[in-house]
Structure 1
Amino acid sequence: MKHAIQGVHCAAATPVTADGKPNLPLYVDHCRKLMDEGCHGIAMLGTTGEANSFGLHDRMALLDGTIEGGLAAEVLLPGTSAPSVADTVELTRHAVRAGVKGVVLLPPYYYKGVSDEGLYRFYSRVIEGVGQDFRMVFYHIPQVTQIPISHDLIERLMQAFPGIVVGIKDSSGDLDNMKAMCDRFPDLGVLAGADPLMLPVLKMGGAGCITATSNLRSDALRVVWEGWNDPAKSDEVAAAQDRINAWRTLSNKYVQLPTVKAMLARSRGDTGWLMPQPPLVELAEAERAEIWAEMEQLGG
């Protein structure tokens, strides 16, 4: 195995109850199906999972309940980010003690224009505060956080904490940035944050993906993962990539996260998926009907 964390990981959506709590039975069922459909792991409580719209207690309870529901901790890759060191340490320590594969950490996203020195101090205090070895994946999504994770910062933290900083999810869409990281940090698992980019990232020496459309088409992503480097499977991989791209395009027709949830309501046959957490709102009925009709045309 080239990278500590690699493969197809689903940025799992989180169903919610009427009172805004995670719907644990529906979530566990979804995660089990994702593993059966081809995922190597579940990147729970990220952007698609609406992590930052839940309180710390709900986030920790969802992780505990998922493990108690039968998912192996070793396949879980939870987001444990918060704007403060203290909350990030609490979430991360809880996840590490539960035995997870690793954690995904955003930069502290409230204050803008912060320096690499400030980010280094934040991540260092989190790592030291957890107080035991674990695997950490950076989460680079500057269009949302407005705080990029620089290559110099990555290098400094990898040198200071060898074996802990093992990967980065790059949701910037910038393939040049991903290639530069693959070239500069061959031991860092670069994970594409957008479904259409996993194939080119693998060809650059990357480690796989953490993506939203894998909620819907993890089977096709697994085909790409298994066959990307096999000339005999090039037609099969190309067909799978076309399918991934079509579903990704449909999921972006309206606001992505409520659209993904509407698509899950259709594919899983459960309207409990429809509602996002505030401030996001569900699709209008006409929008949902349009998405469902297009899903049928795509064969799902």
Structure 2
Amino acid sequence: MPRKIELFVPAITPFAADLSVDTERFVANAHRLIANGAHGLAPFGTTSEANSLSVAERMEALDALIDSGLDASLLIPGTGCCNAAETIALSAHATQRGCRGVLMLPPFYYKGVSDEGVFNAYAQVIEAVGPDLRVYLYHIPQMSGVAITLPLIERLIARFGDQIAGLKDSSGKWDNTAAVIAAFPQIDTYSASESMIPQNIAAGGAGCISASLNVNPTGIRALVDGLNGPNHDALHAQVSAVRTIFEGIPLIPAIKAAIAAQTGEVDYARVRPPFVDLGDAHADAVAEAVRIAGPQRPS
């Protein structure tokens, strides 16, 4: 049976003027993304500024999404923290609310740790939350400094079976993504760049979890739906053009600035420190990304 191909958006976290979470816009943006073709959301990841949010803020925002009528089975919230207690609390809360799974960073402060240590960290969380937890491993070594290696994945699957549901590969290295897909076809492996969608799907992967899905959900969904069809090359060129623009400027402020431009609501552009607002420095690039992405449904 062919694997279902899906697009999950690491949805931005809008902030109010006092830098509190703007729950109303957070929920509105989530519904906008689903309306524009996303299959689901992966909030509280890197693009969501998750590591600038407290545990309580993440829980309250997740509750707001689900209480707004968004199907919890469409959500894979990020829960990985540097300490087990917070990771367990976030993962248990997401599981209790019926989320599809959780996207879990390894503990990322200490560098040079062994696979044994990372295995123990994941095992501690999975055993504490219980058998209903589904974990999507989050491999982003250029940010975390802690790799999710093939031997580690193999050991986790051997111990926890289908509780290890998938992996997001944000390394940007196709060879690594391909190796994960080949070694572990039973899990859902997502690329972090929509430019890699054709290779991902051809190799047996599950799709994409990409920052620029926040801005170009209709274009990326069109690529998935039209893969290898008569318009494939044009669709792939469109998503790659948007992606390339964001790769050349400060990613998170730029994504938020683009959403502000698309919605006409400047408050979407606000970021928490240590990020700074994009301002006019890359206004032309953001405008070009928005132009290429084209019109999006408001909700």
Tell me the TM-score normalized by structure 2: 0.94
Aligned equivalents of 1:297, 1:37: Cα separation in 2 = 16
User: Is 1:258 aligned to 2:260, yes or no?
Assistant: no
Question: What residue is the counterpart of 1:244 in the other structure?
Answer: 239
Question: What residue is the counterpart of 1:276 in the other structure?
Answer: 271
Structure 1 residues 213-234: Cα deviation after superposition (integer angstroms, max 9, x where no partner): 1111111221222232xx4x1x
Higher mean C-alpha deviation, range 17-26 or range 202-211: 17-26
User: Is 1:56 aligned to 2:51, yes or no?
Assistant: no
Are the aligned partners of 1:45 and 1:59 in contact in 2 as well (CA < 8 Å)? yes
Shift of the alpha carbon at 1:292?
4.5
Structure 1 residues 172-215: Cα deviation after superposition (integer angstroms, max 9, x where no partner): 01111111111111101110011211221111110001001111
Say if 1:284 and 1:120 are closer, same or farther in 2 by CA, change over 3 A.
same
Say if 1:293 and 1:79 are closer, same or farther in 2 by CA, change over 3 A.
closer
Aligned equivalents of 2:223, 2:7: Cα separation in 1 = 9
Aligned length: 294
Which 4+ residue blocks in structure 1 deviate beyond 6 angstroms? none
Question: What residue is the counterpart of 1:83 in the other structure?
Answer: 82
- Name the aligned partner's letter for residue 231 of structure 2: E
Shift of the alpha carbon at 1:6?
4.7
Identity of aligned residues (%): 37
Are the aligned partners of 2:168 and 2:189 in contact in 1 as well (CA < 8 Å)? yes
Say if 1:55 and 1:245 are closer, same or farther in 2 by CA, change over 3 A.
same
What are the equivalent positions in structure 2 for 1:182-201 lying under 5 Å apart?
182-201=181-200
Structure 1, gaps ≥5 residues long:
none
Q: Describe the SS at the equivalent of 1:163.
A: helix
Question: What residue is the counterpart of 1:298 in the other structure?
Answer: 292
- Name the aligned partner's letter for residue 294 of structure 1: E
Aligned equivalents of 1:299, 1:145: Cα separation in 2 = 30
Tell me the TM-score normalized by structure 1: 0.94
Shift of the alpha carbon at 1:291?
3.1
- Name the aligned partner's letter for residue 186 of structure 2: D
Shift of the alpha carbon at 1:13?
0.9
Question: What residue is the counterpart of 2:168 in the other structure?
Answer: 169
Say if 1:130 and 1:293 are closer, same or farther in 2 by CA, change over 3 A.
closer
- Name the aligned partner's letter for residue 70 of structure 1: G
Query: What RMSD over aligned residues (CA atoms) do the two structures have, in Å?
Result: 1.5
Aligned equivalents of 2:180, 2:281: Cα separation in 1 = 43
Say if 1:118 and 1:266 are closer, same or farther in 2 by CA, change over 3 A.
same
What are the equivalent positions in structure 2 for 1:64-103 lying under 5 Å apart?
64-103=63-102
Aligned equivalents of 2:281, 2:106: Cα separation in 1 = 37
Higher mean C-alpha deviation, range 19-28 or range 150-159: 19-28
- Name the aligned partner's letter for residue 102 of structure 1: G
- Name the aligned partner's letter for residue 298 of structure 1: I
- Name the aligned partner's letter for residue 184 of structure 1: A
Question: What residue is the counterpart of 1:109 in the other structure?
Answer: 108
Are the aligned partners of 2:80 and 2:104 in contact in 1 as well (CA < 8 Å)? yes
Q: Describe the SS at the equivalent of 1:167.
A: strand
Are the aligned partners of 1:263 and 1:291 in contact in 2 as well (CA < 8 Å)? no
Aligned equivalents of 2:293, 2:83: Cα separation in 1 = 44
Shift of the alpha carbon at 1:296?
5.9
Aligned equivalents of 2:251, 2:157: Cα separation in 1 = 33
Structure 1 residues 139-191: Cα deviation after superposition (integer angstroms, max 9, x where no partner): 00011111111100001000100110010000101111111111111101110
- Name the aligned partner's letter for residue 206 of structure 1: G
Structure 2, gaps ≥5 residues long:
295-299
- Name the aligned partner's letter for residue 27 of structure 1: F
Higher mean C-alpha deviation, range 59-68 or range 279-288: 279-288
- Name the aligned partner's letter for residue 268 of structure 1: T
Q: Describe the SS at the equivalent of 2:238.
A: helix
Structure 1 residues 96-155: Cα deviation after superposition (integer angstroms, max 9, x where no partner): 000001100011000000000001100000000112312110000011111111100001
